[in-house]
């Protein structure tokens, strides 16, 4: 039976296909993977698993015993630390689980992932972090994903089947949208209609609005501009979920707070360990009670994006 604990797993690559110019969908199969929820993430080992000795050995260096660095580690850059990726979907078959990761190639770790082939093995640590809180019965869920913030929105859409929901997906340009658009002629430059033309959302009954900064497809402008217009026209009783570049999420937070709309934000701070040890991912938040520890500031403190988050309420974040 699936548990909620995190663990270290060896996954097998079932699929790794390009979705657009820089994004790939990586499907990993694992055995006995714990239960997961939208908002959670995993840390992937972005290096050959046959080179990755266990962590204790990697950093041990005493007079008697030196680190066993192997040829590849000495001759070219290798991602020593695991890299964090949101869960973009999950399917269970008996004790086996498939998870979807959508990754954009930006450096050595993601470049390694892009070259994985079927049946290759990948080290997975997870599931990690907290989760989105699903909407109340009378609320419309508004999902706002920008660029590499779109993947967690796809997993969230899975759990929103049958509920009122609309997704906003934005990117710089059309071929940076890691999505299947089923009717590419249907939209105009000023179009914020929620349609069923993103297959990954539509299969869960979630309509969507597409924006590109250059206007090559969908609404021309930022996803936040389309969101603002939608909220002002539809005036929904809503909860907003968002993930993407930090300036985009800050703007979404401002838009939501100005209208008194609840907003949950999945932050993507750079993370080294992903499990509360290294303190690399701290983020400033409001402290509900000034007399309670930690006593860093009277009305603020730091939280860890990896274990206290990645999902935070917009009203709590001081960024």
Ligand X SMILES: Cc1cc2nc3c(=O)[nH]c(=O)nc-3n(C[C@H](O)[C@H](O)[C@H](O)COP(=O)(O)OP(=O)(O)OC[C@H]3O[C@@H](n4cnc5c(N)ncnc54)[C@H](O)[C@@H]3O)c2cc1C
Structure-token pair, residue 215: 């206007």
H or E, element range at 26: strand 23-31
The answer to the question of residue 17 lying near ligand X (CB under 6 A) is no
The answer to the question of residue 148 lying near ligand X (CB under 6 A) is yes
The answer to the question of residue 269 lying near ligand X (CB under 6 A) is yes
Q: C-beta of 190: minimal distance to ligand X in Å? A: 30
Q: Which does 41 bind (CB under 5 to 8 A by kind): ligand X, ligand FES, none?
A: ligand X
Print the binding letters for residues 257-286 with ligand FES: x by CB under 6 A, - otherwise. --------------xxxx-xxxxxx-----
Tell which one of 244, 310, 312, 317 touches ligand X (CB under 6 A): 310
Tell which one of 109, 126, 145, 221 touches ligand X (CB under 6 A): 109
Nearer to ligand FES, 240 or 281 (CB): 281
Nearer to ligand X, 221 or 310 (CB): 310
- Helix (DSSP H) and strand (DSSP E) numbers for the chain: 7, 16
Sign of the torsion angle spanned by Cα atoms 169, 174, 176, 182 = positive
Q: Do residues 315 and 261 lie in contact, with contact meaning Cβ atoms separated by under 8 Å?
A: no
d(CA 272, CA 47): 15
d(CA 168, CA 209): 5
Please count the other Cβ atoms lying within 10 Å of the Cβ belonging to residue 137: 6
Q: Nearest to ligand X by Cβ — which residue?
A: 107
Structure-token pair, residue 299: 């009305």
Which residues, numbered 291-310, are part of the site for ligand FES (CB under 6 A)? 304, 306
Tell which one of 79, 231, 252, 265 touches ligand X (CB under 6 A): 79
H or E, element range at 191: none
Q: Which one, of 107, 124, 95, lies nearest residue 27 by Cα?
A: 124
Site residues (vs ligand X, CB under 6 A): 41, 79, 83-86, 102-104, 106-110, 148, 151, 268-271, 310
Site residues (vs ligand FES, CB under 6 A): 271-274, 276-281, 304, 306
């Amino acid at each position: 039976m699936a548990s909620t604990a995190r663990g270290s797993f060896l996954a097998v690559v079932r699929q790794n296909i390009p979705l657009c110019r820089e994004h790939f969908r990586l499907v990993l199969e694992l055995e006995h993977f714990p239960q997961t929820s939208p908002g959670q993430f995993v840390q992937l080992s972005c290096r050959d698993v046959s080179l990755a000795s266990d962590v204790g050995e990697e950093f041990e260096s005493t007079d008697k015993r030196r680190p066993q660095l192997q040829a590849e580690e000495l001759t070219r850059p290798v991602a020593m630390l695991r890299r964090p990726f949101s869960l973009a979907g999950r399917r269970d078959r008996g004790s086996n689980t498939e998870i979807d990761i959508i990754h954009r190639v930006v450096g050595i770790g993601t470049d390694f992932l892009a070259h994985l082939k079927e049946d290759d093995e990948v080290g997975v640590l997870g599931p990690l972090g907290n989760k989105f809180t699903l909407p109340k019965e009378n609320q419309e869920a508004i999902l706002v994903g920008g660029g590499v913030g779109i993947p967690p929105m796809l997993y969230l859409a899975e759990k929103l089947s049958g509920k009122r929901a609309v997704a906003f997906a934005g990117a710089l340009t059309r071929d940076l949208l890691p999505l299947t658009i089923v009717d590419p002629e249907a939209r105009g430059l000023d179009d914020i209609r929620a349609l069923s033309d993103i297959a990954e959302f539509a299969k869960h009954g979630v309509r969507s609005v597409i924006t590109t900064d250059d206007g090559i497809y969908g609404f021309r402008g930022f996803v936040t501009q389309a969101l603002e217009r939608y909220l002002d026209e539809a005036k929904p009783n809503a909860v907003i979920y968002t993930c993407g570049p930090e300036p985009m999420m800050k703007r979404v937070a401002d838009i939501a707070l100005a209208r008194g709309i609840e907003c949950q934000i999945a932050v993507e701070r750079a993370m080294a360990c992903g499990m509360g040890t290294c303190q690399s991912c701290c983020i400033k938040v409001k402290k509900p009670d000034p007399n309670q520890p930690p006593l860093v500031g009277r009305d603020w403190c730091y939280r860890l994006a990896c274990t206290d988050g990645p999902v935070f309420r917009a009203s709590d974040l001081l960024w």
